[in-house]
Amino acid sequence: MRYRILGGTGIDVSTYCLGTMMFGAVGNPDHQESVRIIHAALDQGINFVDTADMYSGGESEEIVGKALRDPRRREATVLATKVYFPVGGEGPNRGGSSRRWITLAVENSLKRLGTEWIDLYQVHRPDHRTDIEETLDVLGDLVTQGKIRAFGCSTFPAEEIAEAHAVAERRGLRRFRSEQPPYSLLARGVEANVLPTAQKYGMGVLTWSPLASGFLTGKYRKGQAIDLTSGRAALTPHRFDPSLPVNAAKLDAVEEFVALADEIGCSLPELAIAFAAAHPAVTSVIIGPRTMEQLEGLLKGAPVVLADEALDRIDAIVPPGTNLYQPDGAWRSPVLADPALRRRPLGERAAAV
């Protein structure tokens, strides 16, 4: 396992980060097995574990807490979690990145994790209801209080990262030290702006979905029947229906990547993770196994390093900065989601005419 420094924090983290979204009701509900998977990852040299308060409604954090109950394991592990989505009840203030919610949410995460501190506390998505100054201010207070060691953002567009750094400099506040974007062979859009912006501000980058929601596992192949009633496909069938042009394009690219992986002598998942780790902005790649078998298969690729010739071939299949699809859960501007934000009131439009 290789290690890199996380941004300007001085913290060494493994190039593989263990993501725990699949531990709990959403993925593997067996707590004991999930703990064994976490221990196996740590024993193989991974020292970076990422979770979130909203994963399985807090259950994932509880499982991670059980796995790190031994103080020696906790001390040796760089623990990251996230805040933003509503957890543990209903109400208009249960979510976001306000001082009120973050102050409550961090205490709940600390309890579920069974720890006194969080190494990296991340804002899970942008919150346009809250001034970024308020968010940075409360996160800085948590650092001062010793409840977190550093903080970052997740799935932020480049302009919001830049704004956060500008506000931090102007107001003398602590700043985001990391960003967590989606990044894979099939979704390279962040190469255009997000990754260069993170580099500009000296941020660490831990990427998610390197296997593109399963398309880069080798399970889904061109010309083979895809069961849209089970697994991931049942949850979002539009992401897997081969009759749709966007999915057909993914399947075409997968065939070329399989051929390349065969030439190199590695598996398709190993190629996918090695690709993400090769970008100079990337500190660590999040892997999200659900079973011990999946973990073992992914760990085999840790030594794989891609030569320039292989990276050139990848560029020819999916050009740099190009998304063949929009990753599930990726940030989408509210201006695009809400038509009212793109249209003048009808009275004003009529007056203008």
For 108-150, the pLDDT digits (tens) are 999 999 999 999 999 999 999 999 999 999 999 999 999 999 9
The Cα–Cα gap between 54 and 283 comes to 24
pLDDT (0 to 100) of residue 24: 96
Q: Which amino acid is at 348?
A: E
The whole-model pTM stands at 0.93
Q: Are strands 12-14 and 3-5 parallel, antiparallel or unpaired?
A: antiparallel
- The total number of structural domains in the chain stands at 1
How remote is the C-alpha of 43 from its chain's centroid?
Answer: 23
Closest by CA to 72, choosing from 106, 51, 47, is 47
Q: Residue ranges of the chain with pLDDT lower than 70?
A: 329, 349, 351-353
Kindly state the helix (H) or strand (E) to which residue 50 belongs, with its residue range. strand 48-50
The Cα–Cα gap between 295 and 288 comes to 8
Helix axes 99-113, 132-144, angle to 10 degrees: 40
Q: Which amino acid is at 15?
A: T
Evaluate the CA torsion angle 216, 218, 223, 225 in order and state its sign.
negative
The Cα–Cα gap between 339 and 75 comes to 49
Range of the domain at 218: 3-352
CATH code at 153?
3.20.20.100
Q: Are strands 178-180 and 118-123 parallel, antiparallel or unpaired?
A: unpaired
Query: Are the C-beta atoms of residues 66 and 35 closer than 8 Å to each other?
Result: yes
Q: Rg of the chain's alpha carbons, rounded to an integer? A: 21
Burial of 190 (0-12, 13-18, 19+ CB in 10 A): buried
| DSSP one-letter code for 266 | S
The set of catalytic residues is 55
Residue 25: phi and psi, rounded to 5, are: -60, -35
Query: Are the C-beta atoms of residues 218 and 258 closer than 8 Å to each other?
Result: yes
pLDDT (0 to 100) of residue 90: 80
Evaluate the CA torsion angle 32, 34, 36, 39 in order and state its sign.
negative
Say which residue the tokens 């899970």 belong to.
124
The Cα–Cα gap between 74 and 98 comes to 29
pLDDT tens, position by position, 41-81? 999 999 999 999 999 999 999 999 999 999 999 999 999 99
Q: Which amino acid is at 218?
A: G
The Cα–Cα gap between 228 and 207 comes to 27
> What is the torsion angle, in degrees rounded to the nearest 10, for the CA atoms of residue 275, residue 276, residue 280 and residue 283?
-140
pLDDT (0 to 100) of residue 353: 57
